[in-house]
Copies of this chain bind each other. A is one copy, B any other.
Amino acid sequence: MYPNLLMKRASLTPNRVALRFNDQEWTFAQLLGKATKYAEKLHTKGITRGMRVAILASSDVRLVVVLHGCMQIGCELVMLNERLSEEELNYQLADSAPDLLLVDDHAKRTLSFANKWSFDDVEGAEQTAFEVEKEWPKERTITIMYTSGTTGRPKGVRQSLENHLMNATGSALNLGVQPNDCWLCTMPLFHISGFSILMRSVIYGMTVSLHTKFDALAAVEEILSGTVTRMSVVAVTLERMLTVLEERELSFPDTFRSMLVGGGPVPLHYLERAIERNIPVLQTYGMTETASQTTTLASEDAIIKLGSAGKPLFFANVRIDGVEKIGEICIKGPHVTQGYVGAAEQKNPLVDGWLHTGDLGYLDEEGYLFVVDRRSDLIISGGENIYPAEIEQALAKHPAVKEAGVAGRQDDKWGQVPVAFVVLKEETTEESLRAFMKKQLASYKQPVDYYFVDQLPRNASNKLLRREFFNHIKNT
């Protein structure tokens, strides 16, 4: 058993600031008060321990209260990505089968679901007191987040209390924890990158400064003001902040302690520019299945271990599977998911306790991890994971498409962008394909270019050779 996180934190440091949003602040005691009130309203509406609640909302103080309110009851949270298409959301709702869908705003969220309430619908309810658990079982599923695999169908990953807690603890032992810490959160809360900041907040007693959207200027100014000590970014958002600093010829103050950069590799010149601007960049390797970071590269090693994602955090273990130096990255530790919900529920993500990531990499002689290639030809665009197979399956539904392949192309701004290679069985236009795809997939998953080709490169066992798509075009 572990403590009820927010309740324990509010008991330990009631008057510390838990949340800052739009120039307003809430202490841990206030946040617990609001979360409890919300929980009592949900309780009136029949929501009880063990129920599953899907949530579709933008990051703001209300969402934080709703998330903690649901946790106070003991619900499992299905964190829906607001950038997804209606069809993608419907799949995740059908797969996770929540007891309730909570949305921030009916007008903004038009998808239909049997039991769908807005935040306001719940706000209007009476409060009914219920017995709040002081302790939570380690195995409790706190969140369910969907992530795609090689098959293209997103799987609902369970993140347990133990996963979140041990991840936060391992990160604390790496980065340090200070009573005046404040983490700037511009990552969406439905992503593990954002949600894990909320978890660290209640575990460490740390302030979260929450921004609904990433705004380079706002983020830079807040850090310059000296009130922020940590931040999580991806390469593309780091670059935008660097540009702001460079334009103003400013550097970050020493009060700022660590800039965690995840979601793929960071180009060398970003690192060099970051050093110029006094930004301690810590590159990380993490994923939904590990409740965020598994390895982190200390900023002092950033240049000497260029391209490395660092060493496994205190509780994490990394092994390379295979006979060559480069093999599949396998991860073990209390931060690793115990499994899935829905269609993938019977699948065990672990083999002898090890998560097989599908990512390729190696450990150097000093134990630093180098990620050579992300799993399943994963495309990482602005920190978002895009699985080619998912786009390919969507394309294949178009009546004119015989088969389709998708690969990532390097992009200065986004790191990578998806590009489609299509073999037709009947005439159609690129416009027709684009219109068709818009209905099916989130905008960040839309191929930026379409190439019509005669055939797709495949290997002997007929597996798509996505990395050869671009060569293939040149040659044909």
Give A contacts to B, CB under 8 Å: 1-3, 8, 11-12, 134-135, 169, 172-174, 176-179, 203-205, 311, 314-315, 317, 332, 367
Contact = CB atoms under 8 A, between A and B. Distances in A.
Contacts of A172: 172-173, 177
B311 A12 contact: yes
Contacts of A311: 11-12
Given A8-B314, A176-B177, 17 more contacts: A1-B332, A3-B314, A3-B315, A12-B174, A12-B311, A12-B314, A134-B317, A135-B317, A169-B173, A172-B172, A172-B177, A173-B203, A173-B204, A173-B205, A176-B178, A178-B178, A203-B314
Contacts of A174: 12
Contacts of A314: 3, 8, 12, 203
Nearest to A353: B1
5 contacts: A12-B174, A12-B311, A169-B169, A173-B204, A176-B179
B176 A176 contact: yes
Contacts of A135: 317
A317 B3 contact: yes
A369 B471 CA distance: 70
Contacts of A8: 314
Please list the 4 inter-chain residue pairs (A to B) with the smallest Cβ-Cβ separation, ordered nearest first. A176-B177, A176-B178, A11-B367, A177-B177
A361 B10 CA distance: 22
Contacts of A315: 2-3
Contacts of A179: 176
A367 B8 CA distance: 11
A100 B174 CA distance: 37
Nearest to A368: B11
Contacts of A367: 11
Contacts of A203: 173, 314
Contacts of A12: 174, 311, 314
A176 B181 CA distance: 10
Nearest to A14: B366
Contacts of A317: 3, 134-135
A135 B176 CA distance: 23
